[in-house]
């Protein structure tokens, strides 16, 4: 019998999970036996606070934990497992690497998801926490695969197409905003279009992705440009691109259109 589809998303902060996989999760939520595990390294307590959000720097971590829960409720798919590793925001690279790998490895061996999604070496924004959690997840996945059992068929890294990046930067400049600079931390970092292995059309569930994003009220000013309305936001999230980190794909292989295609 074929394995039920399952996905583990391992990221650094609440709202990191809001892009990249949320559409795929919505597309597969009704698959028989589908399971979604979410692992967050920090509560995002060192983040900025959008104007008008009634919290303080001291309480932001607690606030963002609630936003994470509310976001998935608004999205419509509650994670089957919502795990917090409780590290300090901004300090994940300082955590002992073996400790971080062991904790993620334990979860992967308990869950044995078919697909594991995390950050690649660029962290998408160059954020040090993103890069650290991605590197540890890659190592944990490699070790988990050495233990016989089901699942662990594919490791993917979320990615931003260079062509999309260029289009967004042109729009920012037209609006008088500072363009994204890939050499700076916290700025978007694209990859060449030809590196993309999976490109999922999420337009039919884009409204659900946006509903989740809207619940990250404290970070609204960080995760989307000023003035973007919900219709524009839905267009932005109508596509999810990723690189397959494992197994290696043959050169010139056709672009996949689903996280689970071919498994």
pLDDT for 250 equals: 86
- What fold characterizes domain 6-160+190-246? Rossmann fold (3.40.50)
The residue count of the chain comes to 263
pLDDT for 129 equals: 98
Q: Domain residue spans in the chain?
A: 6-160+190-246
What phi and psi, each to the nearest 5 degrees, are found at residue 113?
-70, 150
pLDDT for 244 equals: 98
pLDDT for 144 equals: 98
In this structure, the strands spanning 154-158 and 239-246 are antiparallel
pLDDT tens for each residue of the chain, 263 residues long: 478 999 999 999 999 998 889 999 999 999 999 999 999 999 999 999 999 999 999 999 999 999 999 999 999 999 999 999 999 999 999 999 999 999 999 999 999 999 999 999 999 999 999 999 999 999 999 999 999 999 999 999 999 999 999 999 998 999 898 999 999 999 999 999 999 999 999 999 999 999 999 999 999 888 888 778 889 899 999 999 999 999 998 888 999 999 999 99
pLDDT for 186 equals: 92
pLDDT for 225 equals: 80
Comparing CA positions, the residue from 132, 49, 123, 38 lying closest to residue 81 is: 38
pTM across the whole model = 0.96
Q: Mind spelling out the 3-state secondary structure of the chain? A: CCCCCEEEEEECCCCHHHCCCHHHHHHHCCCCCCEEEEEEEECCCCCCCCCCCCCCCCCHHHHHHHHHHHHHHHHCCCCCEEEEEEECCCCHHHCCHHHHHHHHHHHHHHHCCCEEEEECCCCCCCCHHHHHHHHHHHHHHHHHHCCCCCCCCEEEEECCEHHHHHHHHHHHHHCCCCCCCCCCCCCCCCECHHHCCEEEECHHHHHHHHHHHHCCHHHHHHHCCCCCCHHHHHHHCCEEEEEEEECCCCCCCCCECCCCCCC
CA separation for the pair 101, 106 (Å, rounded): 9
pLDDT for 91 equals: 98
CB contact burial 163-183 (16+ within 10 A = b; e otherwise): ebbeebbeeeeeeeeeebebe
């Amino acid at each position: 019998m074929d394995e039920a589809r399952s996905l583990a998303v391992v990221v650094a902060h609440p709202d990191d999970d809001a892009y990249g996989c949320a559409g795929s999760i919505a597309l597969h939520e009704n698959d028989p036996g589908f399971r979604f595990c979410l692992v967050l390294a920090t509560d995002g307590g060192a983040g900025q606070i959008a104007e008008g959000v009634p919290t303080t720097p001291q309480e932001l971590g607690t606030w963002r934990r609630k936003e994470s829960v509310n976001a998935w409720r608004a999205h419509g798919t509650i994670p089957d497992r919502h795990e917090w590793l409780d590290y300090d925001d901004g300090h994940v690279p300082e955590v002992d690497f073996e400790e971080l790998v062991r904790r993620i490895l334990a979860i992967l061996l308990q869950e044995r998801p078919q697909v594991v999604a995390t950050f690649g070496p660029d962290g998408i924004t160059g954020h040090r926490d993103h890069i650290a959690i991605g590197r540890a997840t890659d190592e944990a996945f490699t070790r988990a695969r050495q233990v016989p059992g089901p699942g662990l068929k594919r490791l993917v890294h979320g990615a931003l197409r260079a062509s999309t990046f260029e289009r967004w930067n042109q729009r920012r400049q037209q609006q008088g905003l500072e363009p994204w600079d890939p050499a700076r931390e916290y700025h978007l970092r694209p990859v060449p279009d030809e590196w993309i292995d999976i490109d999922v059309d999420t337009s039919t569930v884009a409204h659900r992705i946006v509903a989740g994003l809207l619940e990250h009220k404290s970070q609204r000013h960080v995760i989307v440009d000023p003035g973007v309305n919900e219709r524009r936001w839905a267009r932005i999230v109508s596509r999810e691109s990723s690189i397959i980190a494992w197994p290696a794909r043959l050169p010139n292989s056709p672009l996949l259109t689903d996280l689970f295609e071919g498994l």
